[in-house]
Chains A and B, each alone.
Chain A
Amino acid sequence: MTSPLSSAAAASPTVMVEACGVEKWYPNGFHALRGVDLCVHQGEVVVIMGPSGSGKSTFIRTFNALEDFQQGSIVVDGMPLSNDVRNIDAIRREVGMVFQQFNLFPHLTVLENLTLAPVLVRKRPKAEVERQALQLLERVGIHEQAQKYPGQLSGGQQQRVAIARSLCMEPRIMLFDEPTSALDPEMVQEVLEVMQELAREGMTMVVVTHEVRFARQVASRVVLMADGQVVEVAPPEQFFTNPQHERSKQFLRQIG
């Protein structure tokens, strides 16, 4: 994993994720990623769209090694991904992830969900982490629920807790894997607003979503993936009004 590309990425501080020719086969032989390249700069919001089964989720899950890949290279925040466990843990500390199904820990209170990782992994004092956690919960608008269990919250509230939980680790980059797909329609907006706010504060974000409005308003670039490949990368205005590729046009017709 010492291609000239990765060392170049390590030298440049503004590149947060550099994926190069990533190829992945599932154990059943399915070719999920077919040479995907993507470069995400600091402070950018990259929205990845595409039909289901196109490999979008699989692709961003390779960034923090939740999925492995067979060929190509990925450099996250200057650290080339390798199979070394310590390397993977180091990268995961810097990369926050928000899941479609929230994946809050149901046996812990909201506050404990937030403080668990910073106390265990970053070894920070509990009182200090709790103070920060309460501030974060206030930012996402649910500090009154800090002592409740996730099962007592609505879907939208749970997803906002999940975002706060990731932020509590003070990540350098945030990955969102279809964060609003499992939500009731009336709760989508509250989650998108939190994400928008986060983008405004300069967080580097990679978002897999079907929310066109969010992509138009927040994205720096939109990436269209289909059949395990990147079809088109363009600024949102251009992507939505004047897509260059036939596959993009077809996709926009389908969701439009």
Chain B
Amino acid sequence: MPMPSSLQRLRRELFATPLDSLISVLLMGGLTAAAAGLLHWALAQAQWLVIQANSTLFAIGRYPLDQQWRLWLLTTLLAAATGITWGLLRAWPRPDRPARLWPRNDVLASGLLALLALLLPAALALTPPLQLRWWGITALMLLARWGAGCWGPRVPGPIRRLLPLAWPVLYLLGMVLINGGLGLMPVPPSQWGGLLLTLIESSFAILLCFPLGILLALGRRSDLPLLRWGSVLYIEFIRGAPLITLLFLGQNILGFLLPGGVAPERVWRAAWVLTVFAAAYVAEAVRSGLAAVPRGQLEAARSLGLPVHQALIHVVLPQALRVALPATVGQFITLLQDTTLLSLIGLLDLLGTARTVMANPAFLGKNAEVYLVLAVLFWCCCAALGLGSRALELRLNPNANVRSTLANAKA
């Protein structure tokens, strides 16, 4: 049977019977009307001045003006590192398939980035020097991606293995740049805000809750009763309490419990509460992954003489985490969105900043514009996490490798 053309297929799927046709027409009409309405509102009625006037506030809060160069430097470094990583991932061959330097999606993504870099600064009515900086940063990233793609294959093996370490180093460097220290003027966390604060809180919590969650999951399956019951108690207590109550607890109780001055800054207290909270959920995701690894795997590793910790690290956990990855990333995405609760305990994360902006008499009644921008920003962050997790899943799954080799063999 010849493949039906897309027009035929559309007809078959949407207009098979009179009732189908009616439903299709109504649905399409409704969707078109909604899209047209949104477009009309966005282009004609909405007043984007509230975003243009507060773009810096949304991005970094009240970070001191004379120290903002540190954030620009960090953004530049991040852009370069992203470009290089992206290029190297494409340039280095993988066990299951040959390296392809420019897959179609990469071309599309690069084009989209270039377009955004051209349009967004103008839409935000940034001053020309700032616009220039954004163009420069985007150009640097694409250039780094191109260069790493070209010269990637010539990087020798030992350096290849060390290169991923650049990211944790960059993260620590970023913390120093944001926070100050090592000769830089300190900028207290109370002056961080907007997207900057949201990203700091969520990245800190994501990075720490993951190892903590793994330890808790292992503890819950341990043979030692104390460890097992401790983990169960922790997980069930945390999962039984709403995050917002834990956040309030962290803000209020910690100050009483710890002697004066020892309690960490409010921003860090909140970050720790987020970490502790998310770890319980990550632990359950990892536990489901551990349960999916057959018992024989640990037995085989142990019978080869591997001590328990090596058997876990090299045999059990790689398989368990692969299974647990989708659920874990789902948890990370939830965590990112949960950071909006910080606005309720008085921190100026994205939502908190938005609330102060909307409370400004000059921008009264501009809630729709602000919330729409917020939604798009969060969607972008979550989409990035989701994309990263899908790519990682494909890379870690030997069954996917099998499928592609089989397909190659048949071709």
Give the interface of A toward B (CB within 8 A): 64, 66, 85, 89, 92-93, 95-97, 99, 101, 103-107, 109, 116-117, 120-121, 147, 149, 151-152, 162, 165-166, 169
Contacts and interface: CB of A to CB of B under 8 A. Distances in A.
A92 B315 contact: no
B398 A99 contact: no
Question: Closest 7 A-B residue pairs measured CB to CB?
Answer: A103-B300, A117-B304, A93-B305, A103-B296, A97-B303, A92-B305, A149-B398
Contact of B402 (A66, A147, A152, A166): A152
Given A106-B398, A117-B305, A101 B319 contact: no
A121 B294 contact: no
B314 interface: yes
23 contacts: A64-B303, A66-B299, A66-B303, A85-B307, A93-B305, A95-B303, A97-B300, A99-B299, A103-B296, A105-B300, A105-B319, A106-B319, A107-B398, A116-B304, A116-B314, A117-B301, A117-B304, A147-B95, A151-B402, A166-B303, A166-B304, A169-B304, A169-B305
A173 to B, nearest CB: 12
Given A149-B398, A149-B402, A152-B402, A89 B319 contact: no
B322 interface: yes
Given A149-B402, A169-B304, A109 B299 contact: no
A173 B297 CA distance: 21
Interface of B: 95, 294, 296-297, 299-307, 310, 314-315, 318-319, 322, 396, 398-399, 401-402, 405
A99 B297 CA distance: 10
Contacts of B307: 85, 89, 121
> Looking at A64, A66, A99, A106, which has the most chain B CB atoms within 10 Å of its CB?
A106
Given A96-B303, A151-B398, 5 more contacts: A66-B303, A89-B305, A103-B300, A105-B315, A107-B396
A164 B314 CA distance: 19
Nearest to B300: A103
Contacts of A106: 319, 398
A120 B299 contact: no
Contacts of A120: 306, 310, 314
A99 B304 contact: no
B402 A92 contact: no
Contacts of B402: 149, 151-152
Contacts of B322: 107
B300 A99 contact: yes
B305 A121 contact: yes
B302 A92 contact: yes
A89 B405 CA distance: 38
B392 to A, nearest CB: 13
A103 B304 contact: no
A149 B95 CA distance: 10
Nearest to A168: B304
A165 B304 contact: yes
Contacts of A116: 304, 306, 314-315
Contacts of B405: 152
A97 B405 CA distance: 31
B88 to A, nearest CB: 22
Contacts of B306: 116-117, 120-121
A195 B4 CA distance: 56
Contacts of A162: 300
Contacts of A107: 318-319, 322, 396, 398
Contacts of B301: 105, 117
Nearest to B295: A103
B158 to A, nearest CB: 13
A92 B299 contact: no
A93 to B, nearest CB: 4
B182 to A, nearest CB: 38
Given A89-B305, A121-B304, A103 B299 contact: yes
